Amino acid sequence: MDSNAVIGAGSWGTTLAVLLAGKSLDVSLWVHEEDLAGAMKTTRVNSVYLPDTRLPENIRISSDLKEVLDGASCVISVVPTQHIRGIFSRAVRAIGDDACLLSASKGIENGTLKRPSQILEELTGRRAAVLSGPSFAKEVIQRKPTAVTLAARQEAEARRLQELLNTGFFRVYTHEDITGVELGGALKNVVAIASGISDGLELGGNARAALITRGLAEMRRLGTAMGAMEQTFSGLSGIGDLVLTCTADLSRNYTFGKELARGLTARQIMATRRTVAEGVQTSKSVVELAARHGVEMPIAEQVYKVIFEGKSPMKAVQELMGRSLKNEFTC
């Protein structure tokens, strides 16, 4: 029987598996940690990433990639971006010839500067669609109204995946701009760290609003320089995801920024977390992409310096405010 394979059992991967299972679909969930997979089979609970949710019986749980991918008609990657290459290098031979491929990861690979879908396409030799948008796992699992964007090259593929994922509480819109949708999901995490720093320093609502607005301008500049459609950044995967991630404590990147503002180093923060704040490593890739495309991204640059060069968060704010005066819409 055809099944849907979800690769990655963090909070979002587990949530997508539960969403599909709730539609009475056959679902297999790959769990990286063998001990966690064993515990989840016994308790039907992901105690690490989604402890308050019982997993439906029609979710098969395994730490064996081949077992999870066997017979899968759709493969959904929810692997942290920096680990996609390692995991799918092992998985590629087990993916069926006719299986569709959907990326639900948000980030940019260090070194190669590739987006998640590009990594998957390189490894598998097939097209990958992209799912992004404002969607905290905790709220989706509680069946609270959510709207997201699904981008694919072919309309038929987009429609197929739209129907697969859409529910009465999880509304899926289609789009053709894979580059823009994916960049929106990656870049907003960097701005969210900046927003967390601002709120952690108690700089107020004015500062947060300015960061979100100017952060969106940076996202749009880099995106269009890389071939994305400008209007994409006004949609769910752009400003929608940006506003959500920059304003709520459910955002791992926002809370990471708040902890940086308290004086903790990035290494100290990461040592206390099992979840990944994708914006940390993405900031490194973004600075390189900005240089490659000749795009000015001062907020992203300051976030990178605070994380990787130990710059004082307040000093970073002062430098942003002290930049030479400019026209708002020509920079």
Any idea which residues carry the catalytic annotation? 188
Task: Name the packing angle between helices 178-200 and 205-225 (round to 10°).
Answer: 150
| Sign of the CA dihedral with 212 first, then 217, 222, and 224 last | positive
CA angle, corner 145, sides to 144 and 147, nearest 5?
135
The secondary structure of 182-195 as a DSSP string is: HHHHHHHHHHHHHH
Asked whether the beta carbons of 187 and 222 are under 8 A apart, the reply is yes
Please list the residues that pair with 53 across neighbouring strands: none
Question: 173-177 contacts: CB < 8 A, separation 24 or more?
Answer: 173/147, 173/148, 173/149, 173/235, 173/236, 174/149, 174/150, 175/149, 175/150, 175/151, 175/232, 175/235, 175/237, 176/151, 176/152, 177/151, 177/228, 177/229, 177/232
| Sign of the CA dihedral with 21 first, then 236, 173, and 113 last | negative
Helices within 177-297 (DSSP H only): 178-200, 205-225, 241-245, 252-261, 266-271, 279-293
